[in-house]
Structure 1
Amino acid sequence: MTRTPPPFARFELMIAWRYLRARRAEGGVSTMTVISFLGIMLAVAALIATLAVRSGFRHEFVGTILGANPHISVYDRIEVDDAGRSDRSFEDYEAAAAAVAAVPGVAHAAAVIRGQVMATNAGRNAGVEVIGIEAADLATVPLVAEPEAAMGDLARFGEGEGVAIGMGVARELGLSVGDRVRLISPDGARTPFGTSPRVSAYEVVYIFQVGRWDIDRVRVYMPFAEAQSYFNRDGVADEIEVFLDDPEAVDGMVLPVLMAAGDVSVWTWRDSSGAFLQALQMEDNIMFIILSILVLIATLNIVSGLIMLVKNKSRDIGILRTMGLSEGSVLRVFFLCGSSIGVAGTIAGVALGCAFAIWIDPIFEFVNFIAGGGVWDPSIRLISRLPARLEAGDVLSAVALSLGLSFVVTIFPARRAARMNPVEALRYE
């Protein structure tokens, strides 16, 4: 009784390896093999690098949002006075902040004052957003207490009339630690002749850089009591800033915060930045589809190479079939030829893509040097550097896509070789 060899037996591996190594003069397709290998490697590397940058962008974007802005902003109910002016200030802001801070899952709650003013120094002007906050509360803001870069001493904030400003504001106005910045508000002191602008000068005690241009360029922190006086908000606060233990669970924290604060309204970080996150997700999906097409094109080189290999090895196929080799064995031999190129190209592509993501900073610095600088403008992209973040899910999706396409496209030329009639293959030999 004849024993049937198991699938992917040693002799099938040996034949496939000999075909892959064969030079073109011997009927092999070594050149096409190299081209197929390089195509898959570069396509997989491009896919992994793009996915890493995509993940880095989202992580950096969300991280700067969560690190420098409140996760939930709580506002009091709107009241309209006789003159028709609306006001939603907190009068009992300390009790409201304490009630919200006691909610399980809330890390910190702080009352703040907000206002927009013009900052000026040495003839330079800039519009800035002033946030009045207690020194102890400012120390709990992650990217302000531990920024990318900082100058001065945050401990001095709140002493006298010192303010903390973003690095972009300092550059725009030519300020450094110890200088005095003038803040001009149109809503100043009320006089019998109307409201006169309020002009005050404050010492810059701390300069921070969080990594987002729209924060570094406009943000100024002022001691809470001084902000109340400056903006004519004595005895009230504009809002309660809430920071959570798990910012991603903000949707489930809205109702507990509302119940604790009473008749209020809330605004979460998803509400303020949801459009950006949706745009990033849409861009992610489109880029993945486009690069998947690139991987597909690269794997189609395997089909071209295998078709040439089958044509060049038709005599060998006929001889093997007459010696008793089954259709299944022939199919597996050529399947191994194609899939091994896909596997090798995928492994090399993963290594290249991961290396690019890990060393993206020196690579980008080199590109920026070659281009003469100015390749990355943080005022347009809102982030100070090009981020990259390797995630296992992204790497596995790229590997699965590449291997899946390599295996699928290899089946068709392998079936053609298996179904070749040995008589037709040897007729003219």
Structure 2
Amino acid sequence: MISTLEKEITFRYLKTRKKDGFLNIISIFSFIGISLGVAVLIIVMSVMNGFRTELVNKIVGFNSHVTVKPYENRISLDKLENTYLKKISKELIFSNSGEAIVIGKNYTKGIILRGYSSKDYPKLDVVKKGDFNEQSAQLSKNSISIGKELSYNLGLGIGDRLSILSPTGIQTIIGSLPKQETFIINSVFDSGLTDFDANVAFVNLDTLESFFAFEKGKRNLEIYLNDPSNIEEAKTSIQKLFENEFIYTWADMNSSLFSALKVERNVMFIILSLIIIVAAFNIISGLTILVKNKTRDIAILKSIGVLNKSITKIFFFVGVIIGTSATFFGIFLGVMFSLYVENLREFLSNTFNISLFPEEIYFLSTMPSEINPKSIFIISICSILITIIVSIFPAIKASRLDPVKGLKYE
């Protein structure tokens, strides 16, 4: 507990005075440094969390949550009636895929063709939730749905013809030649991820299997879960059901990406925490100078019977109040910037004509931000703890001051 006397003296020392000019500057810089450190940490953590969430949503919305790939024997249809599998999944879709080459007038590249039946294709999240320009929602025999980025690169739109080359050869009188077919573009999708839009296209399942000479019994089973975030538990249970098939999830396909994001977020937290630590050292400097300036006051307080414990409390609370108020102000700044970070990005991009968040590098067209109360709590606790630690030494030093020496030359 703090007494009324201790409280009065603490707030008196916090007030600015003209004769304490240099001390006030140090206190102001301590306040600003800690506030900026906390604010920057919150902004960076919010952007990193938002980026990860958006990326997961885009990836989960475009890919199957769990894919069951047969080795030799086809997937038994009886297993699809499993009670647990029905409980955790919302859609069970058979598909197939293969790599092919798109041939354009001035543009040729490899793409991944995904095949779905006409009845299963409309069930995909990218079709239900995605941004679609379409002539038809169905995948007929020779129709194809391509991404916005691929459409732009090829200079083709809905109704245009697109030639695709298969690695599967056909026998002719001059030998084996790659199979080539022409598809009509019936829709252009926008998944929100340029990597998918530029490299993946959808075709009819029967057409794809004929094009690549695949066996119909070797189709993959795509499982779309009710809760794709709980992927590890679901994968373990599905592996027990499909013991003789290869199982992989959306997390397995992007494990390196999310591991890199996690490492980057942790490293950024450590590096930016140094800003708070450096700013906190200003509190030591400020309190040390304050003790030096208040030597006479401390000696008088001791001479009238104020205990060393009370002197320690007074200077300790001066440091803690500066650090705590700076932390809360930093939280306010960080939250406000996090809420309007996309508006700020657009303003800077338009004003200086620069690209601060290139879509082709970061996959997303806007700068995401997700304010996580847990992260803010951890940041604020760390900041206040650092402030408490650096306030202890000057406070103890003040309490050990000899009142006789303090008044000797007065």
Provide TM-score, normalisation by structure 1.
0.88
Q: Which residue of 2 aligns with 1:87?
A: none
- Residues 29-71 of structure 1 show CA distances to partners (whole Å, capped at 9, x for unaligned) of 2222211110011000111111112212221222222221122
Aligned: 1:119 with 2:102: yes
Aligned: 1:340 with 2:334: no
Aligned: 1:23 with 2:17: yes
Cα gap change, 1:325 to 1:174, in 2 (>3 Å): same
SS at match of 2:120: helix
Cα gap change, 1:141 to 1:300, in 2 (>3 Å): farther
Count of aligned pairs: 410
One-letter code aligned to 1:364 = R
Alignment of 1:30-41 (within 5 A): 30-41=24-35
Offset, 1:237: 4.2
C-alpha distance in 2, partners of 1:102/1:353?
A: 44
Cα gap change, 1:296 to 1:92, in 2 (>3 Å): closer
C-alpha distance in 2, partners of 1:101/1:123?
A: 51
Aligned: 1:240 with 2:221: yes
Alignment of 1:271-350 (within 5 A): 271-350=252-331
C-alpha distance in 2, partners of 1:268/1:108?
A: 15
Deviates more, 1:24-33 or 1:405-414: 24-33
SS at match of 1:248: coil
C-alpha distance in 2, partners of 1:203/1:266?
A: 33
Aligned: 1:59 with 2:43: no
Q: Which residue of 1 aligns with 2:237?
A: 256
Cα gap change, 1:214 to 1:95, in 2 (>3 Å): farther
Offset, 1:371: 4.1
- Residues 119-138 of structure 1 show CA distances to partners (whole Å, capped at 9, x for unaligned) of 23443223211100124433
C-alpha distance in 2, partners of 1:97/1:223?
A: 22
Match of 1:133 among 105, 116, 121: 116
Q: Which residue of 1 aligns with 2:361?
A: 380
Q: Which residue of 2 aligns with 1:47?
A: 41
One-letter code aligned to 2:114 = I
C-alpha distance in 1, partners of 2:394/2:197?
A: 59
Aligned: 1:150 with 2:132: yes
Offset, 1:255: 4.2
Q: Which residue of 1 aligns with 2:90?
A: 107
Cα gap change, 1:248 to 1:318, in 2 (>3 Å): same
C-alpha distance in 2, partners of 1:286/1:252?
A: 29
C-alpha distance in 1, partners of 2:243/2:360?
A: 40
SS at match of 1:29: helix
8 Å contact from structure 1 (residues 100, 260) kept in 2: no
8 Å contact from structure 1 (residues 322, 422) kept in 2: yes
C-alpha distance in 1, partners of 2:21/2:291?
A: 9
Provide TM-score, normalisation by structure 2.
0.92
Offset, 1:284: 1.8
One-letter code aligned to 2:345 = F
Deviates more, 1:173-182 or 1:38-47: 173-182
Offset, 1:292: 1.5
Q: Which residue of 1 aligns with 2:4?
A: 10
Q: Which residue of 2 aligns with 1:82?
A: none
SS at match of 2:229: helix
Match of 2:158 among 177, 181, 184: 177
Offset, 1:72: 1.6
Offset, 1:178: 2.9
Deviates more, 1:95-104 or 1:265-274: 95-104
Deviates more, 1:388-397 or 1:317-326: 317-326
One-letter code aligned to 2:183 = Y
8 Å contact from structure 1 (residues 19, 28) kept in 2: no
8 Å contact from structure 1 (residues 112, 240) kept in 2: yes
C-alpha distance in 2, partners of 1:103/1:136?
A: 19
Q: Which residue of 1 aligns with 2:149?
A: 168
- Residues 356-398 of structure 1 show CA distances to partners (whole Å, capped at 9, x for unaligned) of 1111111112232344233333333333333221111111111
8 Å contact from structure 1 (residues 22, 28) kept in 2: no
Measured on the aligned residues, the alpha-carbon RMSD in Å equals: 2.4
One-letter code aligned to 2:133 = M
C-alpha distance in 2, partners of 1:100/1:131?
A: 28
Q: Which residue of 2 aligns with 1:412?
A: 393
